[in-house]
Structure 1
Amino acid sequence: MIYKNYPMVSRVIFGRGSFNQLDEILASKRKGRNAPFIFYVDDVFKGNHWLTSRIPLSYKDKIIYIPTEEEPKTSQIDKLVEDIILEFSELPSGIIGIGGGIVMDIAKAVSLMLTNPGESKDYQGWDLIKNPAIYHVGVPTISGTGAEVSRTTILTGPDRKLGINSDYTPFDQVVLDPELTKGVPKDQWFYTGMDCFVHCVESLDGTFLNAFSQSYGEKAFELCKEIFLSDTLTEEESQDKLMMASWHGGMSIAYSQVGVAHAMSYGLSYLLGIKHGIGNCIVFDHLEEYYPEGVAMFKQMKEKHNIELPQGICAELHDDQIDIMVNVALSLEPLWENALGKNWKTKITREKLTTLYKKM
């Protein structure tokens, strides 16, 4: 048997207020006056001087605010890369993503595409990237996606929604500052937190499970239960623990894989533009057949926090639209193999997926 030699984030700093050390972290990585740092920042922080005033700008450094109403598209990545090439005479010293999963995925994708020729859609898949990315840093401002630790960057292309999965995708540096997650709207906090919870369930219940991924997944699972079902945590404790649950959940799937909920939510996202976190929740709510204990606990969490999920989003879809979602879901073969084993094609049918989608 050949074991995959996975990369990890090489440097990470954790702690409330650790964002203030970003200047010190970046200083040694600057390549010169004409090689800027590009900061991609969630546009929810535009005008928020509490955060933006602490971004260390020098020389030609630039802040670019990223709208997050929609998930990243390959065309968006290509445009951002083109803008950098046209504006600057040298490659940037680094790309820094400050935000949630969308912004961090954009930062990872741009850092890869600055050193690899062609269009980003050409690299959707596994291990297609040949050249190392430029230096890139992730600073999560919401917890749960695991984007800060994963080896993928999820993009919607012209034909499919699929990540650029490669050994060069993980960040070189991550700054985990739980203070940055204050003020996240409750629904968004829940949806993103449930992305982490579903990571754990799918990893721990998958056929790819091993002691490495299990150790991370079990810790993240216990943290999620404490955060979303107990009444004993302070707000700060909840922020700290969810940030670590996100990290551990991301590490768990890095050495295993996700499963049914993620495969089907990709279909929802591709056709309907539904964001990843809420998409996972909508799908997972109907997966008792595959994850009975996890779904029961999810429903308990949903009730405790008075979360109402959208209903009937697929009710008016035509058969050809359902077929598009089914095609996207079935194209994610590693996810199905993890969920159902090597013979997964005998266990899941187009008709079964169609029935599930029509329940949503």
Structure 2
Amino acid sequence: MNFRNFPMVPRVIFGRGSFDQLEEIITSKRVDTSAPFIFLVDDIFENTDLEKRIPLNYNDKIIFVSAGTEPKTSQVDTLRDQITNEFDRLPSGVIGIGGGTLMDLAKAVAIMLTNPGSAVDYQGWDLVKVPALYHVGVPTISGTGAEVSRTTVLTGPEKKLGINSDYTPFDQVVLDPDLCAGVPLNQWFYTGMDCYIHCIESLTGTYLNAFSQSYGEKSLELCNEVFLNGVLPEETSRDKLMMASWHGGMSIAYSQVGVAHAMSYGLSYLLGTRHGVGNCIVFNHLEEFYPEGVKQFKKMVDRHGVEIPQGLCADLTDTEFDTMIRVSLGMAPLWENAIGKNWKQVITPKKLREMYEKM
């Protein structure tokens, strides 16, 4: 048997205020004074205190990026071209600061700065041949697990699919819970639920093993503490959710996600639905597959007074349904993890259409 040999993030720093050590961390990685660090930063932080704390030196550059839409292959190519056109040499590294969108963009741009062609060429598994540029992830919201995963999920012209490779994970991650202060309730909940759903899908999947189970169970325990049990002080809650996100990302490294993610990819590709809210929209209707997980999810929704959007698919055409179904059925490893090797006998286009029609 040939076991998968996955890379992990080699260096991580955790703690409130640890962002202030970023300069110390990256200084030794600077190639020389003419090779800049490129900071890809969520534009919500433009003209804020966080922008002032970014350690710019020499010809380092901040590029503010809107996280208003899911990351696209075309966006990655554009950012890569912007950087290569402005600088006549490779940067020292790429630092992503923001949520899952910025994490994925930073990973993808670091790959595309050293690999030829378009990001579209690398959507899939193990297609990247040249190591990525040094890249650092600084998450400012918790839940996606993008800070620890070996994928960067991108929407391309034909599909929504990650660049899954050994060169995708960050070389360094900075986990500073203080950066997550002030996240709006809905966004906090939807992104946190991405983590919760990772755990449910991993822990109930056919790919489950002791490695993924140990991380998934800890992540689920932390999610329950944050979203369900008792009232935590906000600072403690941020610490715990940041670690839940990390463990949730690790839990799917050696297993897979499942039905909610496979269907969410279809929604996102067709309608541009953000990943976290898309997972919530789908998971809300998955009692058939995850009865206990959905029951707990609905309790969390009620407890925090969050609204899960309804009726997204009410006015779709047959062609639009077919597009969603095509994208979703393309996520074969997710379906196999959720249902088993015979999943195609269970999840037919007709069955998937009926499921989407509820949403």
- Of stretches 225-234 and 103-112 in structure 1, the one that deviates more from structure 2 is 225-234
1:172 maps to 171
Counterpart in the other structure of 2:107: 108
Q: CA deviation at 1:252?
A: 0.2
For the residue of structure 1 that corresponds to 2:64, the secondary structure is strand
Q: CA separation in 2, counterparts of 1:115 and 1:330?
A: 32
Question: Which residue does 1:78 correspond to in 2?
Answer: 77
Residue by residue over 1:92-121, the C-alpha shift from the partner in whole angstroms, topping out at 9 and shown as x without a partner, is: 100000000000100000000111111000
CA deviation profile, 1:170-225 (whole Å, cap 9, x unmatched): 00000000000000000000000000000000000000000000000000001001
Match in the other structure for 2:321: 322
1:220-256 CA distances to partner (integer Å, 9 max, x unpaired)?
0010011001223100010000000000000000110
Pairing 1:1-360 to 2, within 5 Å after superposition: 1-49=1-49, 51-360=50-359
Q: Which amino acid in structure 2 is aligned with residue 22 of structure 1?
A: L
Give the CA RMSD over aligned residues: 0.6
The answer to whether the 8 A contact 1:34-1:89 is kept is: no
What CA deviation, in whole Å up to 9, does each residue of 1:270-290 have, x standing for no partner?
Answer: 000000000000000000000
Deviation at 1:311? Answer: 1.0
Uncovered stretches (5+) of structure 2, i.e. residues with no partner: none
In the alignment, the residues of structure 1 paired with residue 71 and residue 354 of structure 2 have an alpha-carbon distance, to the nearest angstrom, of 28
The alignment-based identity, stated in percent, is: 70
Q: State how far apart, in whole Å, the 1-side matches of 2:53 and 2:19 are.
A: 8
Once the two structures are TM-superposed, the CA of residue 343 in structure 1 deviates from its matched residue by 1.2
Q: Distance in 2 between matches of 1:347 and 1:264?
A: 14
Matched letter for residue 355 of structure 2? L
Structure 2 counterpart of 1:326, which letter? I
Which consecutive residues of structure 1, in runs of 5 or more, have no partner in the other structure?
A: none
Q: Give the distance between the partners of 1:289 and 1:218, measured in 2 at CA.
A: 22
The TM-score, its normalising length taken from structure 2, stands at 0.99
Counterparts of 2:11 and 2:280, CA distance in 1: 31
Task: Report the secondary structure of 1:279's partner residue.
Answer: helix
Secondary structure (helix, strand or coil) at the match of 1:53 reads helix
Greater mean alpha carbon deviation, residues 345-354 or residues 168-177: 345-354
Dislocated runs of 4+, deviation >2 Å:
none
Counterpart-to-counterpart distance in 1, 2:337 and 2:308: 27
Q: Which residue identity lines up with residue 293 of structure 2 in the other structure?
A: G
CA drift at 1:139:
0.2
Aligned partner of 1:247: which letter?
W
Q: Can you list the C-alpha shifts for 1:19-77, whole angstroms capped at 9, x where unaligned?
A: 0000000000000121100001111111112x111111011100011101101111110
Q: Is contact 1:220–1:245 with CA below 8 Å preserved after alignment?
A: yes
